[in-house]
Amino acid sequence: MVKGIDFFNQRRIKEVKKARFFRFIKVGSGVLLLSYILIILLTFSYLLYLRKENNNLNNQIIQKKKQIKKFNERESLQIILKQRLTALNKLLSQKRPNYNEILAFFENVVPSAGVTLDKIDIDQNGKINVSGMASTAEDFSNFLENLTEVNTKISFSKVTVSNISRSEAGNYSFKILFSGLENEKH
């Protein structure tokens, strides 16, 4: 049995080691490349997800701003309406004179002949300015007496003759201020 010397054994061992090393490098670089690609894909996917969520949030912000604008307009209208209703409520809740009773009062006061009322001004505070004409001083005197004797649902705390004048024809023009209108309940 002859043993032979194998001169290529050392070389083969080196080549096998080299082949293993290259295979390790090849497999390792493939794994590293795949890992790197996977990391890049995950990063890209996450960035796409963040962009999509950012767009969704921006759309929601725009919708909320539109809703706020609508609510702001509605609130403005409600405030305006409330102010108007408050003003109307104040106006309606003010104590106003009863015009029918006032006119009935003057119908009862004026005698059938001799005195005519030209103008009756009634303001919100219950002050009444009356201007008229009397044919004679006696008619005017009867008119003033009737003011105190008439039994109606209203009365005045103060009656002031503010102006009386006699014309050339003998007629008397007068202005009387009635203040402190009081409604009496019967």
Q: 40-73, pLDDT tens digit by residue? A: 999 999 999 999 999 999 999 999 999 999 888 8
Domain ranges of the chain: 10-94, 99-183
pLDDT at position 154: 73
Helix 137-149 vs helix 99-109: angle between axes, to the nearest 10 degrees?
130
Instruction: Return the minimum-mean-pLDDT range out of 81-90, 99-108, 135-144.
Output: 99-108
Tokens of 28: 């390792």
* pLDDT digit string, tens, across residues 14-35: 888 999 999 999 999 999 999 9
3-state secondary structure the chain: CCCCCCCCHHHHHHHHHHHHHHHHHHHHHHHHHHHHHHHHHHHHHHHHHHHHHHHHHHHHHHHHHHHHHHHHHHHHHHHHHHHHHHHHHHHHHCCCCCHHHHHHHHHHHCCCCCEEEEEEEECCCCCEEEEEEECCHHHHHHHHHHHHHCCCCEEEEEEEEEEEEECCCCCEEEEEEEEEEEECCC
User: What does the alpha-carbon distance between residue 87 and residue 80 come to, in Å, rounded to a whole number?
Assistant: 11
Q: Does 186 have pLDDT greater than 50?
A: no
- Which superfamily does 99-183 belong to? General secretion pathway protein M, EpsM (3.30.1360.100)
- Using the CB atoms, write b or e for 153-172: b if 16+ within 10 Å: ebbbeebeeeeeeeeeeebb
The arithmetic mean of pLDDT across residues 87-113, rounded, is 73
Whether residue 142 has pLDDT greater than 90: no
- Nearest residue to 141 (alpha-carbon basis) of 121, 156, 168, 161: 161
Who has greater pLDDT, 94 or 81?
81
Question: Taking 70 as the threshold, does the pLDDT of residue 4 lie above it?
Answer: no
181: exposed, middle or buried (Cβ count in 10 Å: 0-12, 13-18, 19+): buried
